[in-house]
Each structure stands twice: as structure tokens, then as C-alpha cells.
Structure 1
Amino acid sequence: MPSVDVLDETFLAVPPARVAAVFADPGAWRRFWPDLRLEVYADRGAEGLRWTVRGALVGTMEVWLEPMLDGTLLHYFLRADPPPGTTVPAGESQRRQFASKRVAFALKARLEAGRAPGCPPSDAQ
């Protein structure tokens, strides 16, 4: 079992393709996870990405974008260990859990901006 095992889900009232476009940008990866070096091993298009992880942690990470109702259920998984010869800092799993939620809520705020509550998402923007 990995030392850091994070699972998160957040609903975004936008189509999966709009969320996928954000994660398709390697520049976004560096902003979201600055201490991790990511390499795509599965590009699933509008369904998300899977990466190998190096840097502060070593393992795998995935963003799975599931169409749900009038939007997207953003699933986030991080399964990793510290690099060989190091230990996981106290509270690392919780720190990564909070970080994943900050990313999801920031995307939600940005991608849903201007959408009135109860109205369907716009494909534009």
C-alpha cells in the first residue's frame, strides 16, 4: 500500500471536454503540483489523464473525468511513496488531500464563472 493514497471527487457543472482542456496543458501541471514531475502514460482525451510521478513523491496519479448529469465528476487519485532513502513527512497525506481540493475548487470557480444556479452549463468559454 502506498504511503500517500489520495482519492477525491468534485462535481463541476461544465462538460468534460472543458475540464480535460485544462489538464491537457503541461503548464497547468506545474502550477497544480509544482514539486512533482509528471509523465503521461495514458491520455484518455475527454476522460482524463494518467501520469507517472517523480520528484517529491514516486508513483502514479490520475484525473478521471466522468460525465455526470449536466457536468463532470472530477475524480483525482494519487498513489505514491517518498523517493528511495527518504520518509514521508508527517501529515503529507492530509496536505495532498487539501491540495487536491484546492485545485478542484479553483477549477470549479473558474470554469463555472457566470453560470446562474440551476442553469445548464455553457459549452463556450
Structure 2
Amino acid sequence: MNRYQTMTTLGAVVLLIFLSLMAVEVAWVRVMLAVIFCVALPGSGWAVTMRLKDVGDTLAMSVMLSLSSTVLVATVMAVGDFFNVFLGFGILALITVAGVIAALGKKPRHANQG
């Protein structure tokens, strides 16, 4: 299985688990998943695209980009006076998908490159 198939399979499994848990009518589960989504996912693909040398730096960059995009989307929606939870979730999901596509499209570094 190559890298693209592995990432696609992993993404599909995570998406199915996320959607099945979101369908649960337990309020704390939905809030927990929303917080995890907003803090971790929107910037994850973009952080991986940067190819930072340390995993901790990649994680920190992912959280920073995720929080920044969440705040940006919320600010635009609040200033534009069209706040909608599903629209905000959709925009963040598009940011996430675009980052993952960018990460998959970037060629991996070879060991002999600096």
C-alpha cells in the first residue's frame, strides 16, 4: 500500500468515526468532538506540508493554524452577521481537505536532501 492509499484509508476511517460519533445525541460527546476538530484538524495538513524537522513543531504549528483559521472563520461570520454553525463547520472542513490535498501532493524529501 503506497502513501496515498494509506492516507486516503486513514482519512476515510477517521471521517466515518467522526460522523458516527457526531450522530450521537449526547451533548458532551458532540462538544468534545467539535473542540478536537477546531483545535487539531484545519491546520494539520498545512503543518505537514511545511515538512518541519521535529514532530513537536509540526504539532504546534497544526494547533496554531487550526486555532487561527477557527478564529478567522468565526470573526468573518460575526462581522458579516451571518453566523451559522453548519456553514462554519463546512468552511473549516474545506480548509482541512485543502491542507490534506496539499500535503499529499507535495513530494517527500529524500534522505540526502537538507
With normalisation by structure 2, the TM-score equals 0.32
With normalisation by structure 1, the TM-score equals 0.30
Which is strand-richer, 1 or 2? 1
Q: Which has the larger radius of gyration?
A: 2
- Higher RCO (CA < 8 A, seq sep 6+): 1
